[in-house]
Homo-oligomer: A and B are copies of this chain.
Amino acid sequence: MLSKTDSINIVAVNNFPEIIAGDNLPGIIVNSILDDNINIDNDDIVLVAQKVVSKAENRIVDLINIQPSEFSKTVGKEVAKDPKLVEVILSETQKIIRMDLRKKNKGRLIVETRNGLILANAGVDTSNVSGGNCVTLLPLDPDSSARKIKDHIKRKIQKRVAVIITDTVGRPWRDGLVDIAIGCAGIKVLDDQRGVKDSGGFTLNATVMATADQVAAAAGILMGKNSKTPLIIVKGLKYKKNNKGSKALIRNPREDLFR
């Protein structure tokens, strides 16, 4: 229960540098926080946009080097989408959930990624990458990326924080994008409040809050989308902890009515 939390503060870290492949991201994160004179406390939550993690981990593909399959060529022709980009998306895919081939929708591919996330274009992103032909892929193991940042912060400044890697995603039924947690360390991603009595004295029956996604959305408000503020600190939140990463946020496919 979070009932003792009266206020939280969400702080954007300014002057975060442009990240390139091979950068020591955990080190850059600590330096940016220190440079910006932000005081890190135990239990702060450090949120990092997927894009900078992907770049640092060299999850960058130059489309020039891609040889599209016949299937990718067919899809690409149908939807006026670069078949090389289609090829990269499908290489990150374990299952196609929906394919919208109408040109005006620019060939939306909603797929399940190798990590089990369901995302448009498998999270492959063409914006904010230097070089007009380069795209980023999601980190291979975002939970591991989060853990490395958490561990580095502990080592460098002796603070025990949680870390969330966020991505910006579309949703069924609702317009506009929101941020979600795709990689986590040190936070229990679901807060199960079943069994808690509500204010009428009745037992709540279906209240499992997606705490990590709510925190990701909160941070997303400040991230902006021009990649200038990919690092956000959430302060003052009392949250439950574990070291199980983000996987509990993915709904069991057998319980999912929308696959």
| A224 in the interface (beta carbon within 8 A) | yes
Chain copies in the assembly? Answer: 2
Q: Write the A1-27 contact mask toward B (1 if CB under 8 angstroms, else 0).
A: 111011111111010001000000000
| A118 in the interface (beta carbon within 8 A) | yes
- Could you say which of B7, B9, B213 contacts A12, with CB atoms under 8 Å apart? B7
**Chain B residues with Cβ under 8 A from A41's Cβ?**
none
Q: Could you tell me the distance between the alpha carbons of A174 and B118 in the complex, rounded to whole angstroms?
A: 9
Residue from A176, A198, A258 having most chain B Cβ neighbours under 10 A: A176
| A108 in the interface (beta carbon within 8 A) | yes
Q: Could you tell me the distance between the alpha carbons of A155 and B4 in the complex, rounded to whole angstroms?
A: 32
Contact in complex: A205, B127 (CB < 8 Å): yes
The DSSP consensus for interface residues of chain A is loop
| A140 in the interface (beta carbon within 8 A) | no
Q: Could you tell me the distance between the alpha carbons of A163 and B16 in the complex, rounded to whole angstroms?
A: 32
Contact in complex: B237, A221 (CB < 8 Å): yes
- Could you say which of B8, B193, B248 contacts A10, with CB atoms under 8 Å apart? B8
- Could you say which of B98, B209, B248 contacts A177, with CB atoms under 8 Å apart? B209
Contact in complex: A200, B249 (CB < 8 Å): no
For the complex formed, measure the closest distance between the CB of A165 and the CB atoms of chain B, giving whole angstroms.
15
Contact in complex: A250, B174 (CB < 8 Å): yes
| A257 in the interface (beta carbon within 8 A) | yes
Assign chain A's interface to a size class: 35 or more
Q: Could you tell me the distance between the alpha carbons of A132 and B108 in the complex, rounded to whole angstroms?
A: 46
| A227 in the interface (beta carbon within 8 A) | yes
User: Which residues from 134 to 150 on chain A have a C-beta closer than 8 Å to any C-beta of chain B?
Assistant: none
| A39 in the interface (beta carbon within 8 A) | no
- Could you say which of B126, B171, B198, B209 contacts A127, with CB atoms under 8 Å apart? B198
A-B contact pairs, 27 of them (CB 8 A): A3-B226, A5-B221, A6-B12, A6-B14, A8-B222, A10-B218, A117-B173, A127-B207, A128-B199, A128-B202, A171-B171, A172-B172, A172-B259, A173-B258, A173-B259, A175-B208, A176-B189, A176-B208, A178-B210, A193-B224, A196-B225, A196-B226, A197-B226, A198-B225, A199-B226, A207-B225, A214-B218
